[in-house]
Structure 1
Amino acid sequence: MSTTYQIPATTHLGEVSLKISNLDRSIQFYTDVVGLKLLTRQDHIATMTADGKNVLLRLEEVSNSITLPERSHAGLYHFAILLPDRKSLGLAVRNLVASGIDIGQGDHLVSEAFYISDPDLNGIEIYADRPRDTWKRDADNNYVMASDPVDVQSLFDLSASETWDGLPAGTVIGHVHFHVRSLEEARSFYSGILGFDVVGNFANMSALFVSAGGYHHHLGLNIWAGVNAPINPANATGINYFTIVYAHNHEVEQAVERLRESGVEVRPDGDAWYAADPQNIGIRLIAEA
């Protein structure tokens, strides 16, 4: 297998699927607190959208489910909802505050972000990017990032005259961040096989960020749950799969071939292909509609 493969720069992320314990409760949370809209519901599965057309989140109720303590297993740290601008972020934060939920925050220099958890302890980041021409890299070509306090008041001031009506069209899944068993194993899989570029080798934080097309990160990978952290049982709430969206079918086929050449099982289902990473986190590969 070629070792020089680089994932196409136009690649981005799509739909995230979560396993949850109570569908009614999760629909209400993601509608009222997060600001998504219900798109479809059938039996134990619902899909959520921002624009009324594209699925951003799929919720699957798991019978006899268990919710494990945070940072105890390999799996989801958070999935990140990217808003189109600061005004939209200000409105979303106003709604989060009104809901009374616990909120974390961080000015990461490349972005401004807020953090919450859903009723099953699935982590969620809601953020807006700063202009790409303001992002800086260090001498090792890693993006310079921080966790400074966000200027919340300026976000409130920017959105003061606007009315909250849920997350706007243009909202997308910006990135996903996982607890992994080994950073070396994760790097070999996501960079070595799938071809994501390393854009943040943060050894001091026990974390690795990778992306396509120079983005600050499409995947965050950390060992904060411990090296060789146990894999989630099948009935545990958490990540089911995330979606990698390629521009063209031949790019999907190339990724599938690389996975198979590396001994990873890949199966087709409709227009998508499904695989799993070393943590048994599902990966859905599709071409742009």
Structure 2
Amino acid sequence: MTATTLHQDVQIGLVQIRVSNLARSLAFYQNVVGLKVLRQAGHEVEMTADGRNVLLILREIANAKVLRRNSAAGLYHFAILVPDRPSLGLVVRNLIAEGIEVGQGDHLVSEALYIQDPDNNGIEIYRDRPRDTWRHDPQGHVVMTTDPVDVEGLLEASEGLVWNGLPEGTVMGHVHFHVGDLGQAKEFYVDLLGFDLMANYGDAAMFISAGGYHHHIGLNTWAGKGAPAAPADAPGIDYFTLLLPNEEERSAVVERVRQAGYTVREEGGVPAFADPWNIGIRLVLKA
């Protein structure tokens, strides 16, 4: 297979997840996360930060089996990127006010907060440091680590500001998945789709992106090597969208995926397929 690289302007679009109780999840994503309802139709709700662009779709499934955390391949977390440090400080203030248990990590390139929704779907809310401050190793990989977040500094940065939910400029920054085999994940996401490897932690985790971003997708084997795909009747991820800059780029990706033996179908008017762990991917053109 020839080496292929995705267009540098590729981004993550929206994420659709399965939940067991729509009313409970709606309350959580509005009050705790700070998203707003854009549209609701039956058992699906589209959620937004800016009132225009969909970031998250909640789909309620009947008689859902809620899995233990980190027990199957599928969603580890989706990551909501806020535009600046004061915005992340306001998120901290709201999570404290709501009494939510929060994990956190300063990854050098970013400051990140981690929470779980009522169905154990993982959520990261983070802000990036300026790209010109990111460091790279001799192989060109982005240097990342996990240090404690300066929570006091975040609170100071948001002093006197009022929480009104996630602000204008909030986007879906990346997605992070449990997979059953990191080599197979690299074959699919790097060799086939065309993402670049940005950081590699042995056979435990890798981070990949387009255009030099620290990562658009994280992949790990923390649910166990050989972890099976999460069942369709359990909460988790249905699909995420890749935003592509033009039809030429989209057609090239579709052709590579078909040539590799994966089934590509039309969903909502866009090409759709699944990775080896049944995580759905839809290819959407940027507006």
TM-score (norm 1): 0.98
- Report the secondary structure of 1:187's partner residue: helix
TM-superposed CA distance for 1:230, in Å, is 1.3
Q: Which amino acid is the alignment partner of residue 252 of structure 2?
A: Q
Q: Which residue pairs with 1:224 in the alignment?
A: 222
Per-residue CA distance 1:26-68 (angstroms, 9 max, x = gap): 1110000000001111110001000000000000000111111
- Mean Cα displacement is larger for which, 93-102 or 140-149? 140-149
Contact 1:112 1:128 (C-alpha < 8 Å) held by counterparts: yes
Check if 1:281 corresponds to 2:279: yes
**What are the equivalent positions in structure 2 for 1:256-271 lying under 5 Å apart?**
256-271=254-269
**What are the equivalent positions in structure 2 for 1:6-85 lying under 5 Å apart?**
6-85=5-84
In structure 2, what is the Cα distance between the partners aligned to 1:115 and 1:62? 24
TM-superposed CA distance for 1:269, in Å, is 2.6
Contact 1:83 1:126 (C-alpha < 8 Å) held by counterparts: yes
Per-residue CA distance 1:120-163 (angstroms, 9 max, x = gap): 00000000000000101112222111111111111111111111
CA RMSD of superposed structures (Å): 0.9
**What are the equivalent positions in structure 2 for 1:1-289 lying under 5 Å apart?**
3-203=2-202, 206-289=204-287
- Report the secondary structure of 1:141's partner residue: coil
TM-superposed CA distance for 1:16, in Å, is 0.2
In structure 2, what is the Cα distance between the partners aligned to 1:4 and 1:145? 25
- Report the secondary structure of 2:95's partner residue: helix
In structure 2, what is the Cα distance between the partners aligned to 1:221 and 1:269? 25
Per-residue CA distance 1:163-215 (angstroms, 9 max, x = gap): 110000110000000000100000000001100000011117x1011000000
TM-superposed CA distance for 1:76, in Å, is 0.6
- Mean Cα displacement is larger for which, 266-275 or 15-24? 266-275
- Mean Cα displacement is larger for which, 268-277 or 66-75? 268-277
Q: Which amino acid is the alignment partner of residue 11 of structure 2?
A: H
Q: Which amino acid is the alignment partner of residue 115 of structure 1?
A: Y
Question: What 5-or-longer segments of structure 1 have no aligned partner?
Answer: none
Q: Which amino acid is the alignment partner of residue 121 of structure 1?
A: N
Q: Which amino acid is the alignment partner of residue 258 of structure 2?
A: R
Question: How many residue pairs get matched?
Answer: 287
In structure 1, what is the Cα distance between the partners aligned to 2:221 and 2:132? 30
Q: Which amino acid is the alignment partner of residue 17 of structure 2?
A: L
TM-superposed CA distance for 1:272, in Å, is 1.4
In structure 2, what is the Cα distance between the partners aligned to 1:149 and 1:168? 25
- Report the secondary structure of 2:254's partner residue: helix
In structure 1, what is the Cα distance between the partners aligned to 2:156 and 2:199? 33
TM-superposed CA distance for 1:238, in Å, is 0.5
